[in-house]
Structure 1
């Protein structure tokens, strides 16, 4: 029976200990800062925030390129001869990374690509679903596993609120007028992943503690979630008291495995410090 290897991009923010424990192969995306190219995962998130504090500019990000994908899949094949690779990729609607993976695998007949139509914890939730299925049934037929993973793609739900709008403004994702209005009224946008795209769906008013609780309760009311896993997302700077508060709400709602995931350099470049999010899978 051929070994099945699960892979994904660093934009999944899958904690390194989980990737190592479950044998998930991760290919890095890129952060460009001060004209230098850094691999996502090798650049401390604090450096990004310090850079913004100094310059009022944010770094840019780039996708994993075709050559890197080709090298990545070849390396996996070298490490695991005769394996079958299932690559669960960052949404094709927010990055060229998935298309690059398609181009890189044209000559491979044992690599299947799945567009997760999600990012960060929403992507990680699908990856961990695949890992769990594979560990429960290691002899599963690759085509059957792919079918099961693809059936969960539209059921992965990601919602988050940024800690502040500075990074969204610096990146041109919110106008100065909208930024000033939101700052004066203490409004924070809720952003959801819908059909692979980041969409502002609601506005919350208040401090980050109140907003995080509102988001958590709204999210749990809106979705019929699998209680076996819940991923709570944060960017560096989120108050520990908020994390404790959210943990308690999750426990009260019957979640068996609650996992906090820190946004990596690539995601933090867009979200900024002090943000909070939630990801899970609907039944």
Structure 2
């Protein structure tokens, strides 16, 4: 029986201890700050926030390139001779990373690439679904595993709100006028993944404590999420009392396995501090 190795990108925000426990191999994306290129995971998120505080700018981010992918996959092949790699990748609709993986594997065998059409916790939910399948059925045929993973990709649901519009403005994602209007009215956009693309679907008004509660309640009422696992996402700066309330709401809806995940440097560069999100897989 040939061993199956699951891989993904750092943009999944899969906690390091979780990745290590389940032997998921993670390839880093990039954060560029002050003209220096950092591998995602080597730059403290707080450094990004401090940089924005000093300069009113945000770092830029880039995808894992084809050369890095080739080295990544070859290293795994060397560490696990004869293995089959199933790579669950960051959405191709928001990054060139998946295309670079395709280029890197043109001349490599036994590597299956899956476009998860999702990011951060939505991508992590798909990866962990694959982990659970593989741990329950270690002798599963790769084709069967891939089929099951692909079947739940349309069912992975992600929604989040940024803590403020500052980082969206700094990154050119909202105009100055929209920023000023949003700041004055305390409006926060809800961002969801639709067909692999990040889309603003609705707007919430008020303090973050009220916004997060409304987002989570509406999300859980709208989607019939599998009660086996719910992923709650945050970026540094989200108040602990809000996290406690979100956990309580999730439990009220019948979720027993609730996993909090912190946004890494790459995702935080776009979302900013104090953000909140939720991800899960529909039944």
TM-score, reference length from structure 1 = 1.00
Q: Does structure 1 residue 87 correspond to structure 2 residue 87?
A: yes
Query: 1:69 and 2:73 equivalent?
Result: no
> How big is the shift at 1:109?
2.0
Displacement, 1:113? 0.3
Matched, 1:250 2:250: yes
1:161 matches 2:161: yes
Q: CA deviation at 1:233?
A: 0.2
Match of 1:21 in 2: 21
1:116 match: 116
Unaligned ranges ≥5, structure 1:
none
Deviation at 1:35, TM superposition (A): 0.2
Report SS of the residue matched to 2:274. Answer: coil
Once the two structures are TM-superposed, the CA of residue 68 in structure 1 deviates from its matched residue by 0.1
d(CA) in 2 for partners of 1:221, 1:177: 33
Describe the superposition over 1:93-140 as per-residue Cα deviations: whole angstroms up to 9, x where unpaired.
000000000000011220000000000000000000000000000000
Which residue of 1 is the match for residue 222 of structure 2? 222
Q: Following superposition, which runs of at least 4 residues in structure 1 exceed 4 angstroms of deviation?
A: none
Which SS does the other structure have where 1:279 is aligned? strand
Once the two structures are superposed, residues 6-48 of structure 1 have per-residue CA deviations (whole angstroms, 9 ceiling, x without a partner) of 0000000000000000000000000000000000001000000
Matched length:
283
Verify: 1:4 aligned to 2:8, yes or no: no
Unpaired segments of 5 or more residues in structure 2? none
